[in-house]
A and B are shown apart, each in its own frame.
Chain A
């Protein structure tokens, strides 16, 4: 059987500490269905009777059984629930590879202008010229920041963008009579979406091992390249928080072999305005607007994943896209010879385009570069402050926007990376990303972003140092029983998975 070095399941703690959950300001909240009933409603609507309905005999006979709440009840339910969440606005969220930066409220305000929020994707193009202009402006910024020839805005999220980028590569290979290229190279340190995307398109995935220093070896890539390889999917800066120093040589080798270079742009925040991926030889790269350009994560989406494309891939962009026409901007919705077609019903995540462009205009080119440099500065600061107490897997050279530690420093303490992270919760911080990248044992991946002040970074580092010292001092209990101050103690994930309860049932 295959072994996987993902985190071990969360154990159920047996500490004798009293739980603080259910305290006055962090109330337990019943389920909506335990509060409301089918008669209550928070929306006043006339109760119309229809004498001559046109429902064709398909009227509902089964019961809906949907609980309703009046407005004050709803307000309280959702406000109380919200207080059980950690959020960027309430505290540092140093999740590596997630880029949890400040979400400016001007973005939200702009997205709610009725000229953006109250327009229909299929209303006449003559009535949405401002929206198309906005899409063009966003495209200009994205292409300029990446030095690329084209951008496909429509992907709904990073993974969707990745799918589109690889579809475009496949279409380009097919068009060039290269359909026999069925292999995609993916470094072992890659995010799980990369191999999932390649496999989805019918490619077989050939893993590229990481070098001891956490980067990809150009020679390993050259050895793996052949006339059967369609593309390489490379994350740069990579998932270990390092810039791939040989990226240009890798791109050249890939192109020489007739393959394309897909770059996972998840970590673009480290280099925006400082390095243009197009100068590194990429052919396609998705940009997570919800990471780099501050559109809110919203508890798990919606995201947006526009894909920039090189000259070679530009003809393979999907519809719809905006084009200048004689009478103004046009929306091209059907490309007769588009190899790709359409990957989502409408124009993509307009609400996110508005927020991202607002953010870009606020920063300007200079501010974006400064933000990237501050993000890198912050990660290196954390690394510098904590190196003495933690263990650094890849030696003493600068990192990009993430600081990566392994669990060597916890050897013999009985404390795991997971325990350590849970203890961080009790100190008011969201845990870092754990056990990712997989190539590092017990990985702790910390991404402070540019949004954290020096004061917050210092407090975070103080807490991290204190926790490391306490773990080494043998105070295992503090870690294995953590968290104690959160709305819940550790949850029994085994129970949840063995007999899944996925909805509320009336008892």
Chain B
């Protein structure tokens, strides 16, 4: 087996040094009834080319984004990732390093995390960011718990514009919680959260651009929350939007959670992704996740370490801020490299390009009979109401080679009001001809 270095002779020699008659002697603590008492019935080891053939056959049964017009978004976005990013993250020293617990020989990872935290803090306009979480949805649940610790209040209000999956994750984390108030879906961008804040409210959770693409007024939400002593958690699923939209930190957000996949990371059918979390300086001791900080070494040279680790499970055990044990290191690296390649100039150009393509998409869709665009404002994603149920429409368009977006009913199956709603995204990869192909096909299907 190509991954196992020992020859049988070496194994025998090593057993001799140990003083064991055979390998089974080393498993003597295992109850006899459980040791090798079975035939797994799994295939035997396989050469590289056969494994590759098997995997390629599976991959070929999927329709890749690059295979045709593609408008699927709703929390994961198809962007271009520069070749440099993927080359660099496959370097051994990044790919095959462990968590940087030995800082003397992990300065690469640590400095990168320090740079990453700086990038995220700047993007969101917040004081501090952590070294990443699993993804945006679990990050939202963690932010909700953090707000409860900070305010010692219990009530959490989720906006009707929050991604339904994120809402479901929060619900699972706060199971059976009477203090979780979930507002009904608001596909028209209608805002009603301000009326639900009271003296027991720990935080309100507002997504912008929201699930349906509408841009929400963060400032108004922050002011209303703060007036009652509550916190504002801002959720962002499309981080590229921050290239043209005001930073939530500048508008009064207390905790910002974002899905960072759009920068540096492929769609990957849902993971691994990258949770970003940033907050105010005074809240850092209640923030979950790893943090990297600057210090000096014994020679006075600048260096970096994981710090404030007493918040974490390996020290606080049952008193930890969270049970999280890992971050999304390699995805954070990809994000950081891509963001460094973009820089402010490139990042704002990228955001404008996304918005420009979405404007073209909106204008073109508005001209299709049987289609109504619901958004007055949006970044790169919008919702349309179609004359037919969106779920079936999507399937028919997929047969024509067009992935036309996400029917809202897929995420909200029990809500009849959303059956005809379709969420579509455009990015820098969306071409003008993709848009016209979509509109022609839509017009034919709806005719």
Contacts and interface: CB of A to CB of B under 8 A. Distances in A.
Contacts of A378: 14
B409 to A, nearest CB: 10
Contacts of B36: 274-275, 369
A interface residue count range (under 10 / 10 to 19 / 20 to 34 / 35 or more):
35 or more
Interface string A377-398: 1101101110000000000011
Contacts of A385: 17
Contacts of A119: 62-65, 267-269
Nearest to B167: A342
Nearest to A117: B266
A54 B341 contact: no
B105 A275 contact: no
Contacts of A39: 343-345
B212 interface: no
A162 interface: yes
B100 A300 contact: yes
B50 to A, nearest CB: 8
- Of B5, B125, B318, B355, the most chain A CB neighbours within 10 A belong to B318
A502 B109 contact: no
A127 B60 CA distance: 10
Contact of A398 (B29, B76, B304, B308): B29
Given A45-B346, A196-B322, A120 B269 contact: yes
Contact of B104 (A147, A491, A503): A491
Interface in B84-114: 84, 86, 88-100, 102-109, 111-112, 114
B232 to A, nearest CB: 15
B441 interface: no
B135 interface: yes
Nearest to A431: B102
Interface stretch (B20-28, B179-187, B193-201): B20-28
B35 interface: yes
A199 B318 CA distance: 5
B331 interface: yes
A100 B98 contact: yes
Contacts of B43: 361, 364-365
Interface stretch (A80-88, A224-232, A306-314, A462-470): A80-88
A502 B292 contact: yes
A274 B129 CA distance: 44
Contacts of A275: 27, 30, 34-36
Nearest to B72: A120
A349 B272 contact: yes
Interface in B1-41: 1-6, 10-11, 13-15, 17-20, 23, 25-31, 33-38, 40-41
Contact of A75 (B44, B84, B375): B84
Given A65-B344, A112-B86, A302-B331, A351 B268 contact: yes
A343 B62 contact: no
A6 B36 CA distance: 38
B166 to A, nearest CB: 6
A157 B26 contact: no
Contact of A58 (B314, B319, B377): B377
Interface centre among B74, B119, B303 (most CB of A within 10 A): B303
A233 B138 CA distance: 23
A52 interface: yes
Contacts of A373: 23, 26
A13 interface: yes
B122 A21 contact: no
B359 A365 contact: no
A257 interface: no
Contacts of A157: 134, 324-326
B95 A42 contact: no
Nearest to A318: B172
Contact of A13 (B92, B123, B298, B308): B298
Given A64-B348, A82-B93, A352-B271, A243 B403 contact: no
Interface size class of B (residues with CB under 8 A): 35 or more
B284 interface: yes
A205 interface: yes
Interface string B338-351: 01111111111110
A345 interface: yes
B247 A60 contact: yes
A123 B423 CA distance: 12
Contact of B94 (A85, A111, A147, A451): A85
B58 A117 contact: no
B328 A500 contact: no
A353 B63 CA distance: 18
A346 B237 CA distance: 13
A410 B158 CA distance: 56
A346 B58 CA distance: 20
A376 B99 contact: no
B340 A32 contact: yes
Nearest to B312: A192
A40 B219 CA distance: 32
Contacts of B247: 60, 62, 64
Which one of B107, B322, B359 has the greatest number of beta carbons of chain A within 10 Å? B107
B440 interface: no
B108 A85 contact: yes
Given A156-B135, A300-B326, A367-B4, A66 B339 contact: yes
B135 A301 contact: no
B356 A50 contact: yes
A196 B311 CA distance: 11
Contacts of A489: 104, 297-299, 301
A50 B247 CA distance: 20
Contacts of B115: 31-33, 504
A196 B317 contact: yes
Identify the interface centre among B98, B106, B125, B314: most chain A CB within 10 Å of its CB: B98
B305 A496 contact: yes
Given A13-B298, A503-B129, A430 B102 contact: yes
A67 B343 contact: yes
22 contacts: A56-B215, A64-B123, A65-B122, A68-B343, A69-B343, A78-B94, A85-B100, A112-B86, A123-B72, A123-B403, A134-B58, A156-B135, A156-B272, A276-B38, A300-B290, A345-B166, A362-B3, A366-B1, A425-B105, A488-B297, A491-B104, A496-B293
Q: Which 8 A-B pairs have the closest CB atoms?
A: A68-B343, A115-B59, A346-B270, A298-B330, A130-B61, A56-B377, A365-B42, A121-B270
Given A83-B93, A371-B1, 12 more contacts: A42-B82, A56-B215, A83-B108, A113-B56, A115-B64, A116-B268, A118-B66, A124-B398, A298-B97, A349-B271, A384-B18, A486-B104
